[in-house]
Chain A
Amino acid sequence: MQPKSKPYKIFIAYIGNDYGKTVARSVDKCLWKHHWIPRIALSGAKGEFFAIDEHEIIEEGARCDALLAINSEGAINRSQRLKFWLEVAKLLLDFYKPTVALIQRAQPTLHYLDNPEVRHVKFERGHHRRICTPVLAELEKTIQNWARTPVSTVPLGAELPEREI
């Protein structure tokens, strides 16, 4: 199995308050502008898809090449964070989704995003438009992480395939 080639399909998970949506729209536009395929349950976004409930959203996310999780303010609010938490937990752990977290500085980070398998891009409140380039770079690095690509099976005694990291 080879790493995925472009264009990448990116699922955007966000916290459903005003600022979370603002950052999500900005990132959605950034991906679209660079000919990537954003997928986001947010009306009016370039990568908008329609879902009637959370499970359809997760299923759509499971079909994408990577997860972009926007950990903006409001993550500590239980109702706002529940949907975000579910999407991140399911896609990261049940579907092995390569993940990049967009972390707003001085805000609590969802613990699932605070692990070595998740790459971080940090931003200050109001400065989310500046992170388009680093987001693309981190997403590409994560998707192309050759280490993550599943290994193959060979009989006992045979030479194992070699892989450059």
Chain B
Amino acid sequence: MIEIDGERIRTFKSNTRAEYDRYSQVRKIVSSGLVQLHEPLEFVQIGSRFHIPIEVLIESHNGPNVAPNIVGLGQSIAIGEMNYLLKQLQLFVSNRDRIEEISFDSLLKLLTTYNLEPRSVLIPLDFYSALHLGKFGNLFVDYSNYDPYLALGWSRIPIYWSNNYVPFDEFIFVGNELGHWVVKPDPNDGHALTIDVQGIRDGKVDVIIKTVACFAHGNSKSGLVVDVHSPKKELTSARNAD
């Protein structure tokens, strides 16, 4: 019987969790931690049962020297939880509006109308260069410690851009009361990422890597989804017209 190496598993866990911690963003977008709960939470599992090559978790004296790490595992969970949160926000936020032309005034007016002081904003990638280049006047991207912020008067709202893995087309403003990210941590060490080695099957090590989490709903009015005409679509239309 092949014995799985305890030391290599500890290193594998630590590497995977370090990668997850580097990429996980959900706790920056919505608040997190212990909350007073008014309703039972619907936890979900965000993860996979990975079949990992045996040499990653078992020291081999004859075979190749393989590091106890699989690049991408931590990231795959971090992006998975971001997709789950995005869907939750799209479904839960009750304030919805539309603006034809984005500007400092139009956004400020909307936030005032909905009485919202956002803690974060999700913005489609189409607006990346336009917002950096000041194409919307006083509405622009500012940086602090290399992190991007939407500058809106005196406010600086942390920005999270859409990307190939987490696509969306609207501006999503998140207020403090919208909800909380709640995690059932690993009972052994309290980390958000649970890594359980199940055993060896068909020549591979069966490992469950997951986070058990929930977006606990708060006040659905503490958020705003704004449909905005994409500057890229304008550009495409203009090119087609030419």
Contact = CB atoms under 8 A, between A and B. Distances in A.
B212 interface: yes
Nearest to A155: B44
A116 B22 CA distance: 12
Interface stretch (A37-45, A121-129, A156-164): A156-164
B45 A155 contact: yes
A46 to B, nearest CB: 21
A130 interface: no
B80 A153 contact: yes
A154 B45 CA distance: 5
B216 to A, nearest CB: 14
B19 A117 contact: yes
A5 interface: no
Nearest to B209: A151
Contacts of B79: 96, 150-151
B51 A162 contact: yes
B49 interface: yes
B71 interface: yes
Contacts of A116: 15, 19, 67, 69, 71
Interface string B158-171: 00010111000000
A147 B146 CA distance: 28
A163 to B, nearest CB: 5
A132 interface: no
A165 B70 contact: yes
Interface string A50-92: 0011011011001101000000000000000000000001000
B210 A95 contact: no
B86 to A, nearest CB: 11
Given A116-B69, A117-B72, A150-B76, A163 B50 contact: yes
Contacts of A53: 129, 132-133
A137 interface: no
Interface of A: 1, 52-53, 55-56, 58-59, 62-63, 65, 89, 93-96, 116-117, 145-156, 158-165
